Amino acid sequence: MAEIVYMPKLSDTMTEGVVASWNKKVGEAVSSGEILAEIETDKATMEFESFYDGVLLHIGVETGQAAPVNAVLAIIGEKGEDVKAILANAKVAAPAEEKHEEKAPTSKEEVPSPVPVAESKTEKQAAPVQPVAVVPTSNGDGRVHASPLAKKLAEEKGIDINLVRGTGDGGRIVKRDIEHYSPYVPAAGGSVQVTAGVESYTDVPNSQMRKAIARTLSASKFSAPHFYLKMEVDMDNAIAARKAINAQDGVKISFNDMVIKAVASALRRHPKVNADWLGESIRYNDHIHVGVAVAVEEGLVVPVVRFADTKGIATLGHEIKDLAGRARDKKLKPEEMQGGTFAVSNLGMYGIEDFTSIINPPNGCILSVGQIKQTPVVKNGEIVPGNVMKLSLSCDHRVVDGAIGSEFLQTLKNYLENPVMMLV
């Protein structure tokens, strides 16, 4: 008997999903547990397993198309069954007890920070423009930087990925580059013809993640009374401590790992900063779950390091690296991006010295971390070279007052300037 597969609810805030790719074609056999499709939600692109054995009789949502939760996604049954009759009798929404619909987690949501990385799906131009030459995207060692999905699409479309110009971070080739790739056709005589004085533009439909970022952080910015506290940190001792730690066999930590450890230690001493705004009440969390911002193709996700104050720097570093890697590969589970009590966004690796972040509701604060910059400083009455890092704490004034936030930053500064203190 045929089974109707409905668009699953893969996150607590998901209202619709986009089919990123189908792993099966109509007429192919499907086994329970096999990956049927990849579905883009408001948080990430996730693999969706089949719950049935049979033959894929019908695809209800084509690749690249969006559909609301509980829309008919596919039909799996026995070869020869009447698909039209099944669709005619299909319910508009899946039954409440449908077993393949994942229930929304009850823990609070950790929302991505706003970094404008859009997923291009359609293109529109005011007037035709001749294609320009494409520069191959390579790191110089002959290896092309491309996402797994981009490589798969290029292979399916017969596109030489070496000729595609990447628009992702660091020139990485992503899905949209393959979808909108146009082979370079030189003009007569080998020169490139470009139409001068012609206006052109590209309309980029928002991904599910981008919609969630816009919706939630707009609400945060315009409803939560933000204020910002800034402080400079002398990182000389932290640099020396990191060098000593990394000298051990099998151990390698980053400055961001040290920041996360210092944040967790400071939150333990200042529990009023480890708080959430719930509207009718403020929740002061006894546990410390630190969200760490990670850039991905569609924007930014914030996987959560749980009980961060109970873990050593090396353990934190290993966990953060694992979460960040799986975030970029779109392998994070929804629950791994939920429940944070405080968030950290670090743009130091991009050369950003100082910035402020929008608070991820319902959190009361988020910390922005800039690059470590060598600069003249005054020590013992003399101007000497120093290494300075700027911190900015965004606070929701409904939750955290200026004095409380300042005391937290001062403790954080002391931990980073004297790393041995957070190891005790």
Those residues with Cβ within 8 angstroms of residue 32's Cβ, 6 or more apart along the chain or in another chain: 49, 50, 51, 52, 53
CA-CA distance, 216 to 226, in Å (whole number)?
15
Q: Which of 208, 11, 209, 7 is nearest to 105 (CA)?
A: 11
CA-CA distance, 275 to 110, in Å (whole number)?
13
Query: What is the phi/psi pair of residue 233, to 5°?
Result: -125, 130
Is 397 tagged catalytic? yes
Q: Which of 58, 270, 289, 397 is catalytic?
A: 397
What secondary structure, in 3-state letters, does the chain show?
Answer: CCEEEECCCCCCCCCEEEEEEECCCCCCEECCCCEEEEEECCCCEEEEECCCCEEEEEECCCCCCEEECCCEEEEEECCCCCHHHHHHCCCCCCCCCCCCCCCCCCCCECCCCCCCCCCCCCCCCCCCCCCCCCCCCECCCCCECECHHHHHHHHHHCCCHHHCCCCCHHHCECHHHHHCCCCCCCCHHHCCCCCCCCCCCCCCCCCHHHHHHHHHHHHHHHHCCEEEEEEEEECHHHHHHHHHHHCCCCCCCCHHHHHHHHHHHHHHHCCCCCEEECCCCEEECCCCCEEECEEECCEEECCEECCHHHCCHHHHHHHHHHHHHHHHCCCCCHHHHECCCEEEEECHHHCCCCCCCCCCCCECEEEEEEEEEEEEEEECCEEEEEEEEEEEEEEECCCCCHHHHHHHHHHHHHHHHCHHHHCC
Catalogue the active-site residues.
Answer: 397
